[in-house]
Structure 1
Amino acid sequence: MKIRVVSSRDEIPKIDSNENVIHFAFRPSNKDIFSLVKRCPNVEVIQIPSSYRSTLSKSIEMFLDMQNIKLIEGDVWGHRKDINEYYSIPPAVVDKIKELKSEGKSNEDIADKLSREGKMNKEMLKYVLSKEQLNQ
C-alpha cells in the first residue's frame, strides 16, 4: 500500500485523481482540503501530523466525516519526498501483519502491538488492516 505525500498546496492540482490515501506534510487550510477532495473524489484517508491536527476547524472535520473520509494523525517517518512522492508501507510491516493474522490475532490486537513497536500509527494500521489484500 502506498501513501501519497503532499508537501505543498501547489501539488494538489497535480495529484492523480485516483489517490485513496494522502499525507499532508504541510499545514493544510480548509481550502487545501476542499481542493484535495474535489481533485481526488475517491480519497478514503487523509493523514496529517499531530501538531497540525489542532489547527483544523470543526467544520472541515464535519465535512470529512460527511464525505466518509477518515482523518488520521501521524507521520511518515524517514520518507524523502525528493526521492519518491509516495511512502510505501514497509514489507516487513505487511509481513508482520500477515503473521499475526495467521496466529488468530484480532485487528485491534495487531494495531496495538505494531504501534507499540513503533512500526506505524495505530489509526493508520487499522486502516491498513481493513484493506482486502491483507484479509486473505
Structure 2
Amino acid sequence: MKIRVVSSKEEINNLGSNEEMIHLAFRPSNTDIFNLITKCPDVKALHIPSSYIRTISKSTQMFLEMKGIALIEGDVWGHRKDINEYSEVSESVYERFDQYRANGLSDEEIAAKMERELHMSTDLIKFLLKNRK
C-alpha cells in the first residue's frame, strides 16, 4: 500500500482524487482535513503523528468516523520526501502477515511483533491487517 506523505496544507491542492492513505506530517486544522476529504473522496485512512493527533477535534473525529475514514496514529520512519512523495508498505510485510496468521497468531500478536520489527505504529499495522486484500 502506498502512503502519500503531505508536509503542508498547501500540498493538499496537489493531491490526486485517488489517494487512499495519507500521512499528514503537519498539524492539520479541521478545515485542512475537510479540504483533504473533499479533494480525495476515496481516502480510507489518515495517518497522523502522535503529537498532532491529540489536537484533532471530537467533531472532526466524528466526521471521519461517519465517512468511514480511519484516523491512525503514527509516524513514517526513514522516509525522505525529497526523493519520493510516497512511503510504501512492501509486499514482504504482507507476506509476513500471512506467515504469522498461518502460524496461528492473532492480529494483536502480529501487530505487537511487527511493531518492533518494522518500527511501524500498532495502529498502522492493525489497519493494514484489517484491510489486507
* DSSP-derived class of the 1:117 partner: helix
2: CA distance between counterparts of 1:2 and 1:36?
Answer: 17
Which runs of 5 or more residues in structure 2 are unaligned?
none
The aligned counterpart of 1:41 is 41
> What displacement does 1:58 show?
1.3
Structure-2-length-normalised TM-score: 0.92
**Aligned-CA RMSD value:** 1.4
Q: Answer whether contact 1:93 1:119 (CA < 8 A) is retained.
A: no
Q: Answer whether contact 2:77 2:119 (CA < 8 A) is retained.
A: no
The aligned counterpart of 1:126 is 126
The aligned counterpart of 2:59 is 59
Structure-1-length-normalised TM-score: 0.90
The aligned counterpart of 1:107 is 107
The AA in structure 2 aligned to 1:7 is S
> What displacement does 1:92 show?
4.0
Moved over 4 A (4+): none
Q: Greater CA deviation, 7-16 or 98-107?
A: 98-107
- 1:1-136, aligned counterparts within 5 Å? 1-133=1-133
- The percentage of aligned residue pairs carrying the same residue is 53
